[in-house]
Amino acid sequence: MSEIMTPEHPRWDEFADALSAAINAQNEPGVSDCKHTFDSTRQVLAEMGVDVNVEATIKYFELKGGFCDCEVLLNLDTNEPTDEEEIPEVEVEMEVSDDRIQDT
């Protein structure tokens, strides 16, 4: 059964690294410019040999704000906690004096 490539997929990091390399390989040295297609996404998924439904994956990327190769990396490849992870709470005490805020 085909899967969809998501940030939760066990090979996501490999996919993201390969996609970044593929985007950069299309350009002149020192220039990072996306072609605003999913050509590299399709190529990387095919080369990885994962059993992924490519078109369903692209639809998923679009739903999550990834409308081309570079936006997949910019909008989906984050280190933000997923719903299953907890966001740690941080307490910060602040003191207000003389119209300035100072950490205590």
pLDDT of the residue at 85: 45
pLDDT of the residue at 34: 79
Establish if 102 belongs to a structural domain: no
The torsion angle over the Cα atoms of residues 13, 59, 54 and 78, rounded to 10 degrees, is: 0
pLDDT band with cut points at 50, 70 and 90 for residue 92? very low
Average pLDDT of 26-53? 85
Establish if 103 belongs to a structural domain: no
Establish if 6 belongs to a structural domain: yes
pLDDT band with cut points at 50, 70 and 90 for residue 79? low
DSSP run (H or E) holding 57: helix 54-63
Report which of 60, 6, 68 is spatially closest to residue 33, judged by C-alpha positions: 68
Establish if 72 belongs to a structural domain: yes
Establish if 98 belongs to a structural domain: no
Integer CA distances (angstroms), 75 to 1, 40, 68, 78, 94, in order: 27, 16, 10, 7, 33
Average pLDDT of 22-26? 82
Q: Assess whether pLDDT exceeds 60 at residue 68.
A: yes
Please provide the distance, in angstroms rounded to a whole number, between the alpha carbons at the two ends of the chain: 56
pLDDT of the residue at 87: 39
Establish if 85 belongs to a structural domain: no
Establish if 99 belongs to a structural domain: no
- State the Cα–Cα distance between residues 47 and 87, nearest whole angstrom: 35
Residue 27: give the domain boundaries. 1-80
Establish if 63 belongs to a structural domain: yes
**Number of folded domains that form the chain:** 1
Q: Is the pTM of this model over 0.85?
A: no
